[in-house]
Structure 1
Amino acid sequence: MERNGRTVTEKYLNYQQDLNRRLSSKSERVKTRAAYEQNLFKNSKFIELNGTLHHYHDSGPKDSPHVIVLIHGWDCWWMWWHIVIQHLNENGIRTIAYDLKGHGWSAEDVHQDYSLPSFSHDLHALVEALGLKQYHIAAFSLGPFIALDYATRFKTDIQTLTFFNFGYFPNNAFLTWFVPRFVPTVFDKVLRKIKWWPPVYLYARMTLMKNSIHKEDIIIGVNSLRFISSQAIRQTATQITQIEVTENIPVQVSQIDRPILFVAGKGDNVVSWKNTEKLFQFAKNGRLEVIKKCGHLITVELPEVTSELIMSNINGHSRSNLGSEYAASPAV
């Protein structure tokens, strides 16, 4: 679809229409948030990568010595990084946060291929198209699977890697069969059909989070469910639970000589911090940070901590006792 002389996706256009309605709301809170998003979206762009139209958000000083590519997680989109982006930009770091195909405002894959290698090739195409030479990568949940495949496949000029909520997954034949059937059913057939945000938030608080967040950031999560392709949900869940994939993760980590920061939440019920610690032990140049009160969704639970950790890896120094120094912002 064309808008103002550029090609965009229908999902993007629909969101812009909703944004325009919110800008005219009688609620000051709704209007303030809509104005914030409108300003944020000025840096949204679209690009075709391997035949599929992708959305990416490029902000911060273009001449910055530090550029970071942000890769979102499973059933998420680029907006999960929005507060992190603000903090990094304020500290002089250029950020490039893109939507994986089939997620967020990116189109569905033209061949319905949501394999890890295909995501890796899309990332390579993005880096090449933007002319990035030296850059950092931060990723959470599904994102590190893609980052590792990319880093070992293309041997590119990555300076540092920061992985959140990721580890060495214990796996077996039952999990390989069960998880791709159960988890996508919960998200695709149950949660995404719920239009009212409180039940979705209740589920997240019970299973995924240890900190309360603002209503507006809860809605970001609800929109993740709206935007994602059913095929993307199912294929990625199948991919990341294959035994050959999970068993290869330590091998991939051991092949990378760049600094890798592993960040775990002590309260993460999806990826245990102990499994993150196990994976950290395979790194040639690794560092481990365990956040005491944090679940599986650190970028929205503790965005300031997320930003500080990314910057600490970029700057090559450690921040100790983050679990006690930082707390979640109070929800409103």
Structure 2
Amino acid sequence: MSAGQVKPTAKFESYRLDIEKRLKASNKRVKEYAAYQKKLIEQSCFIELNGTVHHYHDSGPRDAKDVVVLIHGWDCWWMWWHKVIGVLNEQGIRTIAYDLKGHGWSDDDHVEDYSLSSYSKDLRCFVSALGLTRYHIAAFSLGPFIALDYAMQYEQDIATMTFFNFGYFPNSPFLSKFIPIFLPLVFDKVLRKIKWWPPLYLYARITLARNPATREDIIIGVDSLKFISSEAIRQTAEQISQIEVTENLPTQVAQIKTPILFVAGKGDQVVMWKNTQKLYEFAANGRFVVIKKCGHLITIELPQRTAELIAENILFNAQSQASSNNESSHGERNPVAKL
């Protein structure tokens, strides 16, 4: 166990035992996936951040030129990135995917604080503990809210940001009161009580996804519901629906000079692609991509494309930096282009 790490959480140990049990199953597919997961969790680590034990998955070359911190979305966990991680690692990129407190294999917050500012403080503590001084951030859904809050204070440490399924959606006093009631009701009181995966898959295909997913990836979604704290569901839904939070998004992206790639799914019914485009148009240094056949679950629906977009954003920024340095040496300015 390396410096700063602590013992695994009870949620992780329970899942590890479940993997061992599935390794003995008679079903070949079940056994093969369990073997894959056993290999995957060899890179799982645990660290205490601001009094709460967090899980994170650290893989890829330790001496990699580029490091990407992956921040999952609302009511999700790090496993939503598992296929994306493999593709990025193959390209020589180090990935660090962590579970937000109250989610996945991280413990619930010891004082039940699930505010955006507290998540931002956890992220700062996290990258500092790992000794990261320059890194990229990729995030979806809830993740970009945290990333933007963080970037307002520590932008100098971030090379690029890639945001998926995120935008500037119309808000109102009614929605700001309705969403914190409706979302916890649906996800905490209804969906998480369903233990059989087919009904949840049907729900996801009708409301969230525009591409088929494997049974294993649907179970990842089921596990999201199983692991998350009810209080985390309630508080985060309340946070991201506050008018002062949503109305501040344009100001944040306008002030941040770090390159941001905004990626939208044409079939996303949660965050409409036009709302993503609307937020991009405020960005000081932004680019915008729409994927025609994609819903709200891009990391599960199109993991290969997700990884490609993150890698392309990293490369685009590196090339822009090189071009800027070259032109600066000739006394010219390199304007930011919006694509």
The aligned runs of 1:198-277 (5 Å cut-off) are 198-277=198-277
Deviation of the 1:156 alpha carbon? 3.7
CA distance 1:65–1:203, shift in 2 (3 Å): same
Paired with 2:57 and 2:250, the residues of 1 have a C-alpha distance of: 31
Paired with 1:249 and 1:43, the residues of 2 have a C-alpha distance of: 34
Paired with 1:139 and 1:6, the residues of 2 have a C-alpha distance of: 26
Paired with 1:75 and 1:274, the residues of 2 have a C-alpha distance of: 24
Q: Which runs of 4+ in 1 moved over 2 A?
A: 153-156
TM-score normalised per structure 2:
0.91
The aligned runs of 1:273-312 (5 Å cut-off) are 273-312=273-312
Paired with 2:133 and 2:185, the residues of 1 have a C-alpha distance of: 41
Percent of aligned positions that are identical: 68
In the other structure, the counterpart of 2:99 is: 99
Deviation of the 1:6 alpha carbon? 4.8
CA distance 1:248–1:233, shift in 2 (3 Å): same
TM-score normalised per structure 1:
0.93
Paired with 1:111 and 1:184, the residues of 2 have a C-alpha distance of: 20
Number of paired residues? 314
Deviation of the 1:169 alpha carbon? 1.4
The AA in structure 2 aligned to 1:234 is R
Paired with 2:161 and 2:141, the residues of 1 have a C-alpha distance of: 14
Secondary structure class of the residue paired with 1:68: strand
Name which one, 1 or 2, has greater alpha-carbon Rg. Answer: 2
In the other structure, the counterpart of 1:148 is: 148
The aligned runs of 1:155-174 (5 Å cut-off) are 155-174=155-174
Deviation of the 1:235 alpha carbon? 0.2
The AA in structure 2 aligned to 1:236 is T
Question: What stretches of structure 1 of length at least 5 have no aligned partner?
Answer: 319-332
Deviation of the 1:127 alpha carbon? 0.5
Secondary structure class of the residue paired with 2:65: coil
Across the aligned residues of Structure 1 and Structure 2, the Cα RMSD in angstroms comes to: 1.1
Paired with 2:241 and 2:6, the residues of 1 have a C-alpha distance of: 38
1:89 maps to 2:89: yes
The aligned runs of 1:18-167 (5 Å cut-off) are 18-167=18-167
Deviations for 1:151-204, whole angstroms, at most 9, x for unmatched residues? 002334100000000000110000001011011100000000000000111111
Paired with 2:156 and 2:12, the residues of 1 have a C-alpha distance of: 31
Secondary structure class of the residue paired with 1:101: coil
The AA in structure 2 aligned to 1:71 is I
The AA in structure 2 aligned to 1:208 is L
Paired with 1:156 and 1:17, the residues of 2 have a C-alpha distance of: 42
In the other structure, the counterpart of 2:17 is: 17
Paired with 2:157 and 2:181, the residues of 1 have a C-alpha distance of: 37
Deviation of the 1:7 alpha carbon? 1.0
Deviations for 1:285-313, whole angstroms, at most 9, x for unmatched residues? 11000000000000000000000000000
Secondary structure class of the residue paired with 1:7: coil
Paired with 1:202 and 1:214, the residues of 2 have a C-alpha distance of: 12
The AA in structure 2 aligned to 1:278 is K
Paired with 1:194 and 1:121, the residues of 2 have a C-alpha distance of: 34
Deviation of the 1:317 alpha carbon? 6.9
Secondary structure class of the residue paired with 2:123: helix
Paired with 1:60 and 1:141, the residues of 2 have a C-alpha distance of: 25
Paired with 2:78 and 2:216, the residues of 1 have a C-alpha distance of: 15
Q: Is the contact made by 2:8 and 2:46 (CA closer than 8 Å) also made in structure 1?
A: yes
